[in-house]
Amino acid sequence: MEVKMAKNYGFCFGVKRAIEIAQKNKNSLTLGSLIHNPKEIKRLERDFNVRVQEDVESVEANESVIIRTHGIPKHDLALLKEKNVHIIDATCPYVIKPQQIVEKMSAQGYQIVIFGDANHPEVKGVISYSSTPPLVVGSLAELQTQKLGKRIALVSQTTKQTPKLLEIASFLIAHCAEVRIFNTICNATFDNQEAVRELSQEVDIMVIVGGKSSSNTKQLFNIAKEFCADSYLVEDFNDLDPTWFVGKTLCGISAGASTPDWIIQGVREKIEEF
């Protein structure tokens, strides 16, 4: 099987940075998974004794706690400070931005609209910085049923797609006197998405490598499916099914922003064997 890699794929700046931070801070805890990739989390635990702690309450004083790329809610951060733990902030700078914007805009009286998934850790963190209850919408349809004020500030989960943000922005502009739009979508995601859009139109089969709970990986998979009916999402080479490749000649590969290179290489090698 011939293989073609997407122009851009895999780790973004924020994830690379977080992993470097974790490797430099052996024997520390991360509050929730550092990144959305179970395999990489296991590697960090095995090689660096960086362990995942899900519950902020049970962190003990004097521990070193790494704040993961998605950030954590403001009150959890306050709790950590109270406990006098050593805080190592690996929050992606692109995630800190919407947190700061929401804090400032809500203080200035803007109604906050967050385009994102209310249950995603990044969004939970961003929500916590609003001094008034924000509207969190995953789509234009969800926004249309809401009561809107005159002055709106709109931010996006960093991994969302620009066209969907524009739909939401357009609705707000048509219905509100002032809409202050902060395009907090990360380009890395966009670049990976564009590369999948391009590649999936020229191959027989697309394989997206990434964690099944990773939002940006799922989006790559959705884009791939749009243009290539035979698109598959795998966490590593073990998920590959040889029957998928029967009668195919060219396989495109891309990977989510939290997928380490060593996993991608494993998938690539296995596919080349088919």
Binding-site residues:
12, 36, 70, 92, 120, 158, 186, 214-216, 258
Are residues 52 and 30 in contact, defined by beta-carbon separation less than 8 angstroms?
yes
What is the Cα–Cα distance from 182 to 153, expressed in whole angstroms? 8
What is the Cα–Cα distance from 63 to 146, expressed in whole angstroms? 43
Least distance in Å: CB of 159 to its own copies? 16
Number of residues that bind its own copies (CB under 8 A): 15
**Catalytic site residue from 122, 178, 198, 202:** 122
- 169 lies in the site for its own copies, by CB under 8 A: yes
- 176 lies in the site for its own copies, by CB under 8 A: yes
Is the CB of 28 or the CB of 130 nearer to its own copies?
130
Least distance in Å: CB of 77 to its own copies? 25
What is the Cα–Cα distance from 228 to 252, expressed in whole angstroms? 10
122 among known catalytic residues: yes
- 49 lies in the site for its own copies, by CB under 8 A: no
Are residues 15 and 258 in contact, defined by beta-carbon separation less than 8 angstroms?
yes
CB neighbour burial string for 187-199, b if at least 16 within 10 angstroms, e if fewer: ebbebbbebbeeb
Pattern 177-216, its own copies, x by CB under 8 A: xxxxxxx---------------------------------
- 15 lies in the site for its own copies, by CB under 8 A: no
What is the Cα–Cα distance from 125 to 127, expressed in whole angstroms? 5
Unique residue bearing structure tokens 């702690």: 53
Note the residues at the interface with its own copies (CB under 8 A).
162, 165-166, 169-170, 173-174, 176-183
Active-site residues, by number, are: 122
